[in-house]
Each structure stands twice: as C-alpha cells, then as structure tokens.
Amino acid sequence: MAKRKPRRTEPEPEIDGEEARFLARYDPADYQRLSVAVDVILLSADDGHLYTLLARRHEHPHRDRWALPGGFVRPQESLEEAAARLLRDKGGLSGVFLEQLYTFGAPGRDPRTRVVAIAYYALVERSRLVDVGERGGDVTVARLRVPWEGETGGPVDVLDPSGRPLPLAFDHADMLGMAVKRLRGKLDYAPIGFELLGPNFTLLELQRVHEAVRGRTVNKDSFRRRMLATGLLAATGRSQTGVEHRPAELYRFARPRR
C-alpha cells in the first residue's frame, strides 16, 4: 500500500484588530456543542460472504451488545487521524485501504448526548481479519447477512460463527448496510475487489470476492473475460502451490495500491 502524501499546511491567516476583538469576546458556551465520533467498519470477504470485526460493549449504553471499533475524536486530531488511531488501537491494523463512508447524525442515535458519527470503512484480506478476531472473548469476526438485493440499502444482520444473530449497538446495522451499498456501487468502476485480496491471487479468488460483495453468483467465463479486458490484472508468471487440484495461474493488481 502506497504511503499517503503529507498534507499541505496552509499558512495561518492574519487577524486584524477588529477580528481579534471579536474573538476575544467570543464565548463558545453561548452555543450548544455536539460530540463527534468516528466508527470504522472493517470488511473482508471469504467463501462468498462478507465479514466484519465487532467488539462487545462493557458499559452502558447498550452494554453487552456488539459494536464496530469506534470512539470520540480528540481535540487536536483530524477525522482521518482518529479513524487510523481507532483502526490501530481497536482493530490492531494499519496500512490498509481506509475511506470515509457517511455521516450519521440522527438526534437520538446515542442516548447519552447528541453524537454525530463519521463512519469509515476499511478493506482487508480475510487472513488479517482472522488474526485480529482470534483474540477471542469480547472480539469476534461476524458474517454479514444482507436482506436486500443490489443497491437497495438498509440495515444488515451480523451472525456469530454458529449462525446466530448478534445484537448490535447504536445504529451500527445501518452503518454496515451503508458500507455494503457503497462497495456494490463501486465494484464495477473502482478496483475495490483487489483490496480484499492478498498481493497475488487467482481469478477464482477474485470472482469469489465479487460474489461476496454482490451477494450472488456470477458467470465464471464472462467474469474472467471482463476482468482480463480491464487492464487491471497482470500475470505473475507463477501458479498456486500446495493444492491438490491443477494449480491456477496467479495474478496481481496492475496498478499501485492506495
């Protein structure tokens, strides 16, 4: 994954005397304040399904329910810095695809106070998500069950390893649904599928990722023709090893990853 370019810092604007006097008299307590939080949706694909990482809440509100990695934004950090911190501290991950998804700001979404949450989604290959989920106990990798087709949108269910639904905190079912809708919408024009795979992969593995995101099977032959015609794939010249069937050719994403 390529490193992000350093942000360009703009020079501080000069403050004239009139503005300085206004700022000296300005009292933020005159206005009601909102709390700002960031929630990160970790998604991976495996065996035709999408998976996410959840942690059990130990405190009210929604104690004992399951939640996405999230937290309040610190005063001196940007939203992106907060998302990266939460991904690292609560998800144990760094150096992955991370993109802002949507802002959730319904007045009653958090019973404590008015909290506006900016959701990000992060795409990781399945093996990395499994490694995080193996902490056990209060962290789990849950399978998504999407009850709608295409880009209809709406909340989704999450299931534990035995297939039982898990109760989610806050509006996190809506956040997960928005992430699935975004992925389905971008799959045909952005190289989203490659972010859910390792550096080298077979065409079948890429097909399974697309099926997991779409929630339906695709025709094998037409899918392969279409993907090879995009120019996004480059053959590595190598094949699978350690498999009982005929080894399949390995490919890689032909452009630098984000």
pLDDT exceeds cutoff 60 at 257: no
Distances (CA, A) of 221 to 64, 207, 214, 234: 46, 10, 17, 18
Give the predicted TM-score (pTM) of the model: 0.87
Give me the domain span that covers residue 204. 189-258
**Residues 49 and 172 reside in one and the same domain:** yes
Task: Give yes or no: residues 179 and 201 share one domain.
Answer: no
Q: Flag whether 25 is in a domain.
A: no
Closest C-alpha among 95, 98, 83 to residue 36: 83
What CATH number is associated with residue 180?
3.90.79.10
* Cα–Cα dist 215/200, whole Å: 23
Q: Are strands 115-123 and 35-46 parallel, antiparallel or unpaired?
A: parallel
Mind listing the pLDDT tens digit for each residue in 156-198? 999 998 999 999 999 999 999 999 999 999 998 888 889 999 9
pLDDT tier at 1, thresholds 50, 70, 90: very low
Peptide bond into 11 cis (omega under 30): no
Residue 6 has pLDDT above 80, yes or no: no
pLDDT tens digit sequence for 33-75: 899 999 999 999 998 999 999 999 999 999 999 999 999 999 9
- C-alpha dihedral (213, 223, 151, 158), degrees to nearest 10: -20
Domain shared by 49 and 176, yes or no: yes
CATH number where 247 lies:
1.10.10.10
pLDDT of residue 254: 87
223 and 176 in one domain? no
Residue 165 carries which DSSP code?
B
Residue 52 sits in the same domain as residue 164: yes
Report the pLDDT averaged over residues 113-130: 92
Mean pLDDT of 150-154: 95
Last-in-domain residue among 186, 219, 235: 186
